[in-house]
Every structure is written in C-alpha cells, then in structure tokens.
Structure 1
Amino acid sequence: MPSLKEIKTRIASVNNTRKITSAMKMVASSKLHHAQVAIENMLPYENMLEHILKTFLVATPDADTPFDVERPVKRVALLVFSSNSSLCGGFNGNIIKTFQNVVNDYLEQGIAKENIIVYPIGRKIAEKVAKMGLQAAGTFPELADKPNSETCRKIAAEIEKLWLDEQIDKVEMIYHHFKSAGTQILTRKTYLPIDLEEELNADKERDLSSNIVTKKAQEYLKTHGKDSSKKENEVVLPLNDNFLVEPDLKTVLTSLVPKLLHLMVYTALLDSNASEHAARMVAMQTATDNADELLRGLNLEYNKSRQAAITSELLDIVGGSVNN
C-alpha cells in the first residue's frame, strides 16, 4: 500500500491536471462560440448565392459550365482539413485515416504518387503528407487557427486554373462537417467536377446556438424545443426571379460557379475549425470528469490509509500502557 505522502503527492498532481483540462475546456468553448458566429455570418451570402443558382438551373436545366465536365482520372488534387495542435480526441486521427484510405484507393487505381497533389490545411495533415512523400501544394497552418476568406479564394482560384488547364482531373475535400457541438460528421466530398444539383441540395444542417456536448442534454433540448430552431427555418428574402441575363446564361454561370467553389472551400474551413474546438471541448470535458473520478478514489484511499495509521498508533499506545 502506498504511503500517505505518496497518495497526497498524487492527489496534488491530479488536481493540477484537472485545473489545466478544465481551463482548456473553457478556452475551447469560447473559441467554439466565435467559430459558430463566423459560420452564422457566412450563411446569408450562402443562401443568396444558392437561391440565384437554383433559379438559373430551374430556368435552364441543361445549363453546363467548364467545371462540370467529367474526364478520365489521371491526376488528382486533395483538400484536407486538420488542426495545428492535438488534445482534440480523434479529430486529427479520423482525418488522417480517411486521407490514407483515399490515397490508397487512388494508388490501387494506378495513379502514381507524383500525380496526387495535396492542399494540407493544418499542421497535422501537412506532417502526414511529408511522411508519406506526397506532393504538397504549399502549407497553410495559419488557416487552421484563423480562417481567412481571401486565402481560401486564392486556393480555390489556383485549383480552378489547374482544372481549366486540364492539369488535374478530379478534386476531393476531406473535412469534418459541424452539425452540433456534440456531433461532427467526417465528410469526403467531390469538389470538381462540380454537380450543382448535389451541391445545392447538400446537407447544411447545423446547430449554432449551443455549446452543449452531452447526448443527454442534447436530447432534452430536442424534446423541449429551442429558440435556435427558428433561425434554422428562416429563409432569405424572396428575389425577383425574372432575371434578364446578359450577355448569356453560360457566361454568368461561368462567373457564379467559381464563387460557389470559393464558398465551398471557406465553408469547409469554418466547419473544420468549429469541429476542432467542439472535439477539444468534449475531450477536455472527458479528461476533467476522469480526473474528478480519480480524485474521489484517491481521497477515499487517503482517508482509509490515514485511519489505518491512526488505529495502528492507538493500538501501540494501548498495548504499551497494558504492558506497563
């Protein structure tokens, strides 16, 4: 049995660890709130662009653009979103595992390593790309911490140029879709060639109102209703859909679709950023709960050892007095 001093030292150590995990959970909660606000600020633009494109598609179902042409896949580009730091549960591990599976799939199809270009958003995935010996089209660690629309636009423009010059035949994105603070969905999505119908009808369900991470609490909110549901049901103000398109629809679509592609990159980045903070908050909450459980056990063990020591001393005293 460990001595009282050893148990006391361990209790102090666990207490210090608990303070750190609790503080990290609060920091992650604050960052998650800012990430949710960033997504919410982006939604009006997304809804308006979606409305315009849907209107054009309904007016001319056979409309096509240079970005929806399917070609035999010989060269591939991958946009992969991870974090810069760890301590966020399985967030980075899931991304890296999916990325490896995607790369292996392409290698089995006969695509050489040098024909796979990776855009690694985040330090963790950049390190994995370097270990695998794949070609990285730059490093973007700053984006994982501070999402920036202009940098996303430059990445999207670079990929679009490669696509139009036929230097790549397919582009995929791998990221976590932020559904709620307790649920992040690992997503693998085709970026190019773009399917406008599929992209405009994609799952955009998000709960941006709560930092609740436990399933029981989320179920309670669903059962008793929440004010955030009003926001989810809101739609953009109706537009006058009798558009006069000049010079022609194809030219306008060719201008609008790159904006949608830029928005896809930026949305994926915001989703990944919010998912990282949510995953870290869950991980730190779990670590704090485990520390609390460990402290309860250690305090019980300390009290038992202390009581045993006191009993032993009393017995020595009583035994000595009897002998005298």
Structure 2
Amino acid sequence: MAESLMDIKRKIASTKKTGQITQAMQMVSGAKLSQIEKRAKKYQIYSDKVRQIVTHLAAGQLLELANAAESDTDSGDKSQVISVASLLQKRPVKKTGYLVITSDRGLVGSYNSTVLKAMMQMIKDDHESPDDYVMMAIGGVGAYEYRGVSDIPTFNEVREIVKTAVTMFDNGVFDELYVCYNHHVNTLTSAFRAEKMLPISDLDVSEVADTNVEYLIEPDLDSVLESVLPQYAESLIFGAIMDAKTAEHAASTTAMRSATDNANDLISHLSTQYNRARQAAITTEITEIVGGAAALE
C-alpha cells in the first residue's frame, strides 16, 4: 500500500509539472494571438485600400486588356500581356496550383489535420491524375518546401514563395492558383478555406461605379497596372498566410487550455484516489493495532 501511495504522489507531481508547462504555453500562444490579431486588422485596412485602388484602375481596362492581348501577341510583344492580362483573364485550366499552409510544429490541436484531410479529399474529388495539379507547401507539417515562417510574419519573410507562386502562374506552370488554409473565425473556431487567388477575379467594378476619385497616373495606366497587379496578387497570398497564422495561434491557445484543464482534472482525480488509498492504509493500521492489543489481553 505504501508503494501505491508513492506511485500516486509521483503521478500527481508529474501532472502538476505538465500542467504548469501547458499553462505557460497557453499564455505564450495567447500573447502571440493578440499581437497577430492587431497586425491583421491593420493589414486589412491596407488590403482594402489597395483593392479599391486596383479595382478603380482596372475597371475600364478589362476589355482593352483582352484586345491588347490579341494585338500584342500578333506583334510578338508579349511582355506586358503576360504581366498584366494573364493576372486578370481566365484561361483554359490544364493544371491547377495549390499553396497549402500548415504549421511548423505540433501542439495545435486539429489545425494541421483539418487542412491536410480537406486537401486530400479535394484532390481526390477534383483530379484524376497527379499531372493535373501542382502542390506547394508552407509549414513543416505539410512539407519541407518552405518552413520557418515566424509567429508574427512579415511580407519580407514570405516574399520568396509569394513571388514564386505569382511567377509560376505568370509563366504558365499552372492556370489557376488556390491557397488552402484554416481561416480564423474566432478564438475557438476556424474553418478550412480554399481560396482562388489567381487569376484575380474578386475585382467588382460596381464597387467604384459611384465614386468620383481620380488618379494622376505616370507614365501610363498599363505600366501602373503592370506594377500594381502583381503586388496586389502577392498581397492576397500574404493576407492568407496572416489569416492562417492567426488560426494557428488560436488553435494552440485552445489546445493548451484544454491540456491544462485535463491536467487539473487528472490531479483532482489522483488526489481523491490518493486520499482514499491513504485512508485505507490508516484504517488497516488501526485494525492491526486493535487486533494486536486484543491478542495481548
């Protein structure tokens, strides 16, 4: 019985240490979540403004770009058509690109498994052959193509893979690009999202139809679009990375809170078990003493 009591005490001490660790990790994840939520809100303001400007600039140019694509292709000058028209115009889809965002670490609950299961099901439903799609991954759990994104990412950090994705689309490696990740809903909830980023199709001309904003453009509209549209496409992908990181920290906070609660529940259960075992040992000792005293009489 004494050995059993020691085992229970050892389990209680071990569980308390584990609970302290998970509680500390919960606090760290909560702090990171608070930071990235603030940054994401600020980035959203920037993203909305850029989208408004791009929509305004491109509003009257879609038809012209389509006509320019034909005339420039005939003349052999394809540089501008590739960088501008290809980002806006749909083309026959021979191959689809997927940029999958996972985490570099575990201890984030079902965050990674949700993304990977949804991705595998999507590929199974939409493609018959591996030749129909191209996979790129951010995060060590998804693959080792690109990892090491910080907890509060900056654009300079992910510039390489973002530019690579846009350039691959530009060069015809794939004909459409989906960014697949967990979208942050709130601290307790996230939802898998496969968002089509390329070609750019979310520009709604009606949003700027009633505005009287005018821009001074130098040197010309086509040159500005040639520079701004790739940046806008890159900002969309970076926004998805920010959203995914926010969901990751939220999932980590929730997972560590659950682990801490489970540790506390286990400690409570072990404490009750310890008290019962100790009481049983005391009762046994009293019985033996009484029995021994009775035998002496």
What's the TM-score once normalised by structure 1's chain length?
A: 0.75
Would you say the 8 A contact 1:11–1:299 is kept in 2? yes
Letter in 1 for 2:41: E
**Superposed, which structure 2 residues align to 1:152-163 within 5 Å?**
152-163=158-169
Q: What corresponds to 1:303 in structure 2?
A: 275
Q: CA deviation at 1:20?
A: 1.4
Match of 2:134 among 102, 112, 117: 117
Give the secondary-structure state (helix, strand or coil) at the position aligned to 2:94.
coil
Would you say the 8 A contact 2:98–2:180 is kept in 1? yes
Q: What corresponds to 1:208 in structure 2?
A: none
Structure 1 residue 12 corresponds to structure 2 residue 13: yes
Distance across 1 between alignment mates of 2:138 and 2:280: 57
**Superposed, which structure 2 residues align to 1:30-179 within 5 Å?**
30-56=31-57, 65-108=85-128, 112-114=129-131, 116-126=133-143, 139-143=145-149, 145=151, 147-179=153-185
Share of identical aligned residues, percent? 31
Structure 1 residue 274 corresponds to structure 2 residue 280: no
Distance across 2 between alignment mates of 1:319 and 1:151: 77
Aligned-residue Cα RMSD (Å) equals 2.8
Bigger CA radius of gyration: 2
Change (3 A) 1:96 1:103: same
Q: CA deviation at 1:33?
A: 2.3
User: Per-residue CA shift, 1:86-108, capped at 9, x if unaligned?
Assistant: 01000000111122123223432
Give the secondary-structure state (helix, strand or coil) at the position aligned to 2:203.
helix
Would you say the 8 A contact 1:77–1:170 is kept in 2? yes
Change (3 A) 1:73 1:56: same
Distance across 1 between alignment mates of 2:206 and 2:232: 10
Distance across 1 between alignment mates of 2:181 and 2:240: 7
Give the secondary-structure state (helix, strand or coil) at the position aligned to 2:148.
helix
Give the secondary-structure state (helix, strand or coil) at the position aligned to 1:72.
coil
Give the secondary-structure state (helix, strand or coil) at the position aligned to 1:8.
helix
Moved more, 41-50 or 18-27: 41-50
Letter in 1 for 2:31: S
Q: What corresponds to 2:187 in structure 1?
A: 181
What's the TM-score once normalised by structure 2's chain length?
A: 0.81
User: Per-residue CA shift, 1:135-187, capped at 9, x if unaligned?
Assistant: xxxx2112254623124333333233332332311111001222322222221
User: Per-residue CA shift, 1:254-288, capped at 9, x if unaligned?
Assistant: 33221211111111111111211110110010011
Give the secondary-structure state (helix, strand or coil) at the position aligned to 2:127.
helix
- Count of aligned positions: 273
Change (3 A) 1:85 1:63: farther
**Superposed, which structure 2 residues align to 1:309-324 within 5 Å?**
309-323=281-295, 324=297
User: Per-residue CA shift, 1:108-144, capped at 9, x if unaligned?
Assistant: 2xxx4245322211000006xxxxxxxxxxx211225
Letter in 2 for 1:267: G
Letter in 2 for 1:172: Y
Q: Where in structure 1 are there 5+ consecutive unaligned residues?
A: 128-138, 202-238
